[in-house]
Amino acid sequence: MTHAVSTDSGRRPDEQPFLLSKTRAGAARGDARPSKPAPSATLADDPLLQEFPRIQAGSAFIETAAGRLGDTSAFSVLALRPDSASGGEPTPASSRKLLSYRIKAAQIVAQVADDEGGFWGLMAAETLCCVLPGRDQASGVAAAKKVQSRLSALDGQSFTIGIAAFPCLRYTPADVIHNAGKALNHAAFFGPGGRACFDAVSLNISGDSHYDAGEIDIAIAEYRNALRLDARNVNVLNSLGVCFGVRQEYDKALTAFSAAAKVDPQEVLALYNAGLVHLLREDKETALKFWLQAAPHGQEVFELHFQIGRCLLETHQADKALAYAQQAVALRPESGPAQRLLGDALLAQRSSDQAIAPYKTALRITPNDAAALSGLARCYELRNENLEIAISFCRQSVEIAPENGRTHLRLGRLLAKTEQLEEALQAFRQAETHGEDARGLIHSVEERLIEKAS
């Protein structure tokens, strides 16, 4: 796992998502993504089964294979599927061509299975499976190389292969067959023609898939098994911590993030996520400590700079917050919350002239951002210009976020400045109700109203 992503792409960056990185098993070959298998018919009407009517498919194959392997002390499994270059909708011509490749590939797999004393079938649509009783992983790899060597003669079509072996942990024979499918998904990260053996990375990828599907319990089980194969895998430790974090099991989450940081003190995502747990526990000081520790190693992590900037600003360290807000905007200029944070940091340093631009950008991206509307209005107030527009912005911000005391406070100031004292008094009282100290302003307006009445 190398690339940081939010665990919830639907959330705004200022809603404090954990960061889960996505596995890039083929990082040494570039940011290769799994190639998509070509679309096909369901197993029930797969034309390949018409060519091989005695071959079983799907769960029936896996059940039969597991039964045949019941007394076998060791075996290996190969899972193969054709790579699709385009990943687009098939045409009749392309479907016929692919079927021809699959039939030839099945003939090759059948021959290798016969040579090696094994058997084969269809694990799933487009996925051929070859089971080799009595063969360990090394023998499985050798057989996979033999298959791929023969498949290379099929001009214009490559195949990806995953290999799994029994025994492994406490997996049953049926589990190991499924593990070959996980290794196949792992191999896909290496690009067309890839090959991979089932390992912690395979489980990491599988865990990510279940996590994305909202199957947190299954993801946790996959990550835990991955750690049984590789206890020092920082990416898996971080992913496990994220699962516990989203379930609000914060002690378990911190244990996982701490273990990742012990293996690699520069593991940015684990440090970031540990800080986020402390923030969720309302321990802002400890959160900031973790984030500042991660900052030198996470120059490209948007969320890290955003959260540091916001935390510093909220603790009245606007001078320090500004640099992090600027970096957040540089990393993600189309982030409305980041633009607003930059405006807030500039405004906190009385740089209202400079704050106007990021506030306007924030509102272009998110027109109903109450805080940005309020901030822009404050800039106009400090510059003593566009006061009617500023009042309009403040009214909008109050409508959008009536529970925010600061929006009421800024509205009150503008109303008082334009001699709309009755409304200003109401706004200040609302500000006081929602946590702002507006007592002095309330008293001042009340005195002005008395003076005006007399």
Q: What is the pLDDT along the chain (454 residues), one digit of tens a residue?
A: 334 555 443 344 345 589 987 554 443 333 333 444 434 445 667 788 888 999 999 999 999 999 999 889 999 999 999 887 345 677 888 788 888 888 899 999 999 999 999 999 999 888 999 999 999 999 999 999 999 989 888 776 889 999 999 999 999 999 999 999 999 999 999 999 999 999 999 999 999 999 999 999 999 999 999 999 999 999 999 999 999 999 999 999 999 999 999 999 999 999 999 999 999 999 999 999 999 999 999 999 999 999 999 999 999 999 999 999 999 999 999 999 999 999 999 999 999 999 999 999 999 999 999 999 999 999 999 999 999 999 999 999 999 999 999 999 999 999 999 999 999 999 999 999 999 999 999 999 999 999 988 7
Structural domain 43-188, CATH architecture: 2-Layer Sandwich (3.30)
Domain 1-28+212-298 has CATH 1.25.40.10: yes
| d(C-alpha 213, C-alpha 20), whole Å | 14
Kindly report, as residue ranges, where domains of CATH 1.25.40.10 are found in the chain: 1-28+212-298
Strand partners, 132: 76
| d(C-alpha 93, C-alpha 109), whole Å | 24
Kindly report, as residue ranges, where domains of CATH 3.30.70.270 are found in the chain: 43-188
